Amino acid sequence: MELGQTGIYTPSMIIGTSSLGNLYDATPYEQKLELVMASLDFFPDGIVFDSAGKYGAGLALETLGQALYDLQVPKDNVLISNKLGWRRTPLTGTEPTFERDVWKELAYDAVQEISYQGILNCFEEGNELLKGFDAQLVSIHDPDEYLNQSDSPKDYEKRFADILEGYAALEELKKAGKVKAIGVGSKDWKVIQKIYRHFPLDWVMIANSMTVYDHPMELFGFMRLLEKEGVGIINSAVFHSGFLVGGDYFDYRKMNETDPENRKKYKWREQFFSLCKSCEVDPAHACIQFALQLPGVNSLALNSTSIKRIQANAEFCESPIRDSFWDACKELGLIADYLSEFKLNKAE
């Protein structure tokens, strides 16, 4: 499917690479190499990898570049998305200073660097780590986090101006033919909306925001607008860091079932798992199909440390779920009432 109006065609599943940066667990290079090799086998007609300087403080980019180099993959066979805004720095303590307890056994730290020159620096560093497999899809990563660090309205506006300067840098890269399309990746979709009002994005990546568990009606409307205006949408983090498929983390935070604030999430998951079991639907399949069928969504960015799971996810992307399952989700209140008039099974 074409990504918006970019002329770039992406498969329904984009390979996330955060696991290559030791997300939650440190794995040996040989195991990561097998993941990259398997991913290439699953998408022989064209593959897209999604990465970022933040993932493992550049380790994900470095590992991906090394794997592609070792496998002697032709550069024209691979499209890489690099979310820019974090640069590698020396590690001065025992663990990195960003997203503590999430990234394991890193040799470097990372700092956020969002400005005109900062984004250019991130782009150059990313391509160096990728060993010449230059990123063609570029975006500014976590602008929401950058804005959330502001300590006053004036500081907020200064930081937003920094973000727009970063996009001016990306626009220059595109005009120079160094990249093909410009986007944004954010966990807060309203920041995407704010940026879009100021800059004509080619595509957006929505993270942790539009899932079978959480799907705000206002965001649904914004996605309809993007679809109408020809902006591509990549949906990511559709498992909420694995929680919706049985994991212990929700949006990068370790969950505690005895915590009253977390009980709602566990109760929802219990009902969801029970329905999936009775309908013989894999929970991951439900998460994927819900996220993929939403307005304007071209692809999902999915990450896994398991070769079997990558293959299963790819198959789930191509296999719609019958309407009776979605009707049952609505009856149980697992998905919002406003979706009653929206057809979640586009294949029928």
DSSP 19-54: GGGTBSS---HHHHHHHHHHHHHH-TT-EEEEEETT
CA distance 76 to 69: 13
CA distance 89 to 94: 14
Question: Percent of the chain at pLDDT above 70?
Answer: 99
The pLDDT value recorded for residue 289 is 96
Model confidence at 305: pLDDT above 90: no
The sign of the CA dihedral 25, 28, 31, 37 is positive
If you average pLDDT over residues 322-346, what whole number do you get?
86
Model confidence at 250: pLDDT above 90: no
Model confidence at 348: pLDDT above 60: no
The pLDDT value recorded for residue 345 is 65
If you average pLDDT over residues 113-135, what whole number do you get?
96
Which backbone phi and psi does 111 adopt, to 5 degrees?
A: -125, 150
| pTM for the whole structure | 0.90
If you average pLDDT over residues 190-214, what whole number do you get?
95
HSE value, Cβ hemisphere, 13 Å, CA-based, for 58: 23
Please count the other Cβ atoms lying within 10 Å of the Cβ belonging to residue 196. 17
Model confidence at 24: pLDDT above 60: yes
Model confidence at 300: pLDDT above 90: yes
Model confidence at 120: pLDDT above 90: yes
Question: Quick one: DSSP state of residue 103?
Answer: B
If you average pLDDT over residues 21-45, what whole number do you get?
92
CA distance 193 to 191: 5
Does residue 339 or residue 15 have the better pLDDT?
Answer: 15
CA distance 122 to 188: 22
- Supply 35's token pair: 């993941």
Q: Would you place residue 12 in the very low, low, confident or very high pLDDT band (cuts 50, 70, 90)?
A: very high
Across the chain, mean pLDDT equals 92
Which of 26-35, 127-136, 206-215, 258-267 has the lowest average pLDDT?
258-267
Model confidence at 347: pLDDT above 80: no
The pLDDT value recorded for residue 36 is 95
The pLDDT value recorded for residue 346 is 61
Model confidence at 102: pLDDT above 60: yes
Which of 85-89, 140-144, 253-257, 280-284 has the lowest average pLDDT?
253-257
- Supply 275's token pair: 């329905």
CA distance 185 to 213: 20
The pLDDT value recorded for residue 29 is 96
User: How would DSSP label each residue in 323-348?
Assistant: HHHHHHHHHTTSS-GGGGGS-S-TT-
The pLDDT value recorded for residue 46 is 86
If you average pLDDT over residues 83-112, what whole number do you get?
91
Model confidence at 322: pLDDT above 90: yes
* Overall residue count recorded for the chain in this entry: 348
CA distance 22 to 33: 13
The pLDDT value recorded for residue 191 is 96
